[in-house]
Amino acid sequence: MHMEENTLSVLKIAPGQHPQQVEIDNDLKALQQAVGGSIGANYPFEDPVAIVYNDDGKLMGLPLNRALRGENGEMYDAVAGTFLVVGLGEEDFASLSPEMAQKYEQLFHQPEAFLKLGNRLLVLPVPDEPPTEKPRTKPTSEHDR
């Protein structure tokens, strides 16, 4: 017989961070803990996945995290606070398949920053740390010597 999964393998996406694959318990409390409050679920994609987010995130003034875009790439909403991308089972949330995990990791990979311009919201990708910072140990180039 098929048992409900006790733990879910999902993507956890925090503001300003790359998505992380995490295991969480398949119960309401664990989901609420992950998003820091009461949960809402949204099904913006054709794939069998849901976005689980903090339902009061915007009211609580949580930082905006990622834009949700329609078919044409226009942003129609933004998720505030940490959210999860979870799979959809027969009647419950389920683990993401490896393909879905990879697909949505790529979709939400780039952290985004939001700027309010009057009543418009601008979304800017947050660049990864500039690589100029790290390789100080290497000599700049051979012919400088």
N residues, the chain: 145
pLDDT tens digits, 56-84:
999 999 999 999 998 888 899 999 999 99
pLDDT by residue for the chain (145 residues), tens only, comes to 455 568 999 999 999 999 999 999 999 999 999 999 999 999 999 999 999 999 999 999 999 999 999 888 889 999 999 999 999 998 889 999 999 999 999 999 999 999 989 988 899 998 776 655 555 555 555 655 5
Measured CA to CA, the distance from residue 71 to residue 59 in angstroms comes to 27
User: What is the model's pLDDT at position 123?
Assistant: 92
Measured CA to CA, the distance from residue 92 to residue 125 in angstroms comes to 33
Alpha carbons within 13 angstroms on the beta-carbon side of residue 144 total 4
Which DSSP symbol is given to 1? -
Residue 104 CB neighbours (<10 A): 21
